[in-house]
Chains A and B, each alone.
Chain A
Amino acid sequence: MFNKENNDFSSKDAETIIGTSVKVKGNFQADGNIIIEGILEGTIKTKGNLFAGTKSAITADIEANGGKISGEVRGNIKVDGYLEITNTARIYGDISAQQISIEKGAIFQGNCQMSQNTANQ
């Protein structure tokens, strides 16, 4: 449902969707894929992938398997696999991933760490 080849994040495959009309506060945990288009404050952890849409406003530390960020994140992002940062993303915090792409136009202020496996390839 989410792969770096087609960069496609389908809502049909998302277990959880936080829409634009919703605000979440606290420690949000899930097992599957998450789409966030609304406001979230706290922490987010999922074993699946996370897509933060263009209208999302996240003030939280994020942990996920993979991620695609198109909105605003104030917090640290830790992803086991691939992290895609699109041109509308605004990230204020540190990121950690095995593979990263950042589109022209994105704003990123923080430190970046990539896993040792990728560095040795």
Chain B
Amino acid sequence: MYVYIYDSFLNEKSYDRVLSRIETRNTDLGINGNIIRLGMIRNIADIVENEIKKGAKTIVAVGNNETFNKLVNVFVKLKEKGIHYKTPLGFIPVGNNNEIAFGFGIEREEAACNILSGRKIEILSINKANDKSFVSIARIPAKGTTIKFDDDYLIEPIQDGWVEIVNETMNYSDDGNEEIKKESSLKLYIKPEQKRLSRNKDTISEIPINQITIYNDHKNLELDFSEQIKTPVIIKQSDTQITLITGKQKIPQ
């Protein structure tokens, strides 16, 4: 059974048509199921936990980067609570702010239904930013940021640009039943702002990481293009994995 969780912003009338098209497509593909609309007072964690206990085959987030981030954090919290399940997370991106979906090769709206139907399962290692989880990327403006690697050394960007921590682990399973154990791979990128008229391209820094602490007195760290958290933030790999239904390759933006 598929369970579709619609984010609260989709309650606006302007989304009625696209949701109708998505629901029709899902029916045609034979993957229609229960629809749950999030509002101001509904607890998403309780909803997901109940649906998984009732035997949901797939939980599908319908919304944007923020929707996806909410569901990932719920899935992780369930695992940390000791609730074991193999239900994968699916995603139907609607509207703007869907960089995370494109990174996983999931196209917008009805096209995402086809991907859902294809059930290409990826096992994702989750990374922690303090007590929050992120799947794909954590980033912060480079100016004013300091990165500490244990007690060994400090890195300071000396130009404007971005500091990005990217999850480079991608594990594949055709049927989603087998968990592939692989060391997760987190990498730090420091991307300087490229000046338009400058001929020379400044080199992007790349450093593999296990655990780092990020400091910035004025800017927050952004997780998966959605949630923002204040520094200092300890970023590290965790043992938790979730399964996600993805597309074949990243979609250029």
Give the nearest-CB partner of A22 in chain B. B205
Answer whether residue A117 sits at the interface, using C-beta atoms and an 8 A cutoff. no
Answer whether residue A100 sits at the interface, using C-beta atoms and an 8 A cutoff. no
Q: In this complex, which of A18, A20, A35 has the most chain B Cβ atoms within 10 angstroms of its Cβ? A: A20
Residues 33-55 (chain A) with a chain B CB within 8 angstroms: 35, 37-39, 42
Residues 1-51 (chain A) with a chain B CB within 8 angstroms: 14-29, 35, 37-39, 42
Contact A24 B203 (CB under 8 A): no
Q: Which residues of B contact A20 (CB under 8 A)?
A: 192, 202-203
State which of B12-20, B152-160, B229-237, B243-251 sits at the interface with chain A.
B152-160
Residues 141-178 (chain B) with a chain A CB within 8 angstroms: 142, 149, 152-159, 161
Contact A21 B208 (CB under 8 A): no
Q: Which residues of B contact A25 (CB under 8 A)?
A: 153-154, 156
Q: Which residues of B contact A16 (CB under 8 A)?
A: 206-208
Contact B207 A26 (CB under 8 A): no
Contact A17 B208 (CB under 8 A): no
Contact B153 A18 (CB under 8 A): no
Measured as residues with beta carbon below 8 angstroms from the partner, the interface class of chain A is 20 to 34
Q: Given A16-B206, A17-B203, A17-B205, A22–B152 Cβ distance below 8 Å?
A: no
Contact A38 B205 (CB under 8 A): yes
Interface of A is mostly: strand
**Looking at the complex, which one of B159, B161, B203 makes contact with A37 (CB distance below 8 Å)?**
B203
B217 to chain A, nearest CB (A): 18
Measured as residues with beta carbon below 8 angstroms from the partner, the interface class of chain B is 20 to 34
Expressed in whole angstroms, the Cα–Cα distance for A78 and B152 within the complex equals 20
B133 to chain A, nearest CB (A): 26
Q: Given A21-B192, A22-B190, A28-B153, A15–B205 Cβ distance below 8 Å?
A: no
Give the nearest-CB partner of A34 in chain B. B207
Q: Given A15-B208, A16-B208, A23–B156 Cβ distance below 8 Å?
A: yes
Q: Which residues of A contact B197 (CB under 8 A)?
A: none
Answer whether residue B40 sits at the interface, using C-beta atoms and an 8 A cutoff. no
Q: Which residues of A contact B154 (CB under 8 A)?
A: 24-26
Expressed in whole angstroms, the Cα–Cα distance for A21 and B161 within the complex equals 9
B-binding residues in A (CB < 8 A): 14-29, 35, 37-39, 42
A-binding residues in B (CB < 8 A): 142, 149, 152-159, 161, 190, 192, 202-208
Residue contacts A-B, CB under 8 angstroms, 30 given: A17-B203, A17-B205, A19-B202, A19-B203, A19-B204, A20-B192, A20-B202, A20-B203, A21-B142, A21-B158, A21-B190, A21-B192, A21-B202, A21-B203, A22-B155, A22-B157, A22-B190, A23-B156, A23-B157, A24-B155, A25-B153, A25-B156, A26-B149, A26-B152, A26-B153, A26-B154, A27-B152, A27-B153, A37-B203, A38-B158
Closest 5 CB pairs of A and B: A26-B153, A19-B203, A21-B192, A19-B205, A21-B159
Given A22-B190, A24-B153, A25-B156, 9 additional A-B pairs, CB 8 A: A16-B206, A16-B207, A21-B161, A21-B192, A22-B157, A22-B205, A23-B157, A23-B158, A35-B203
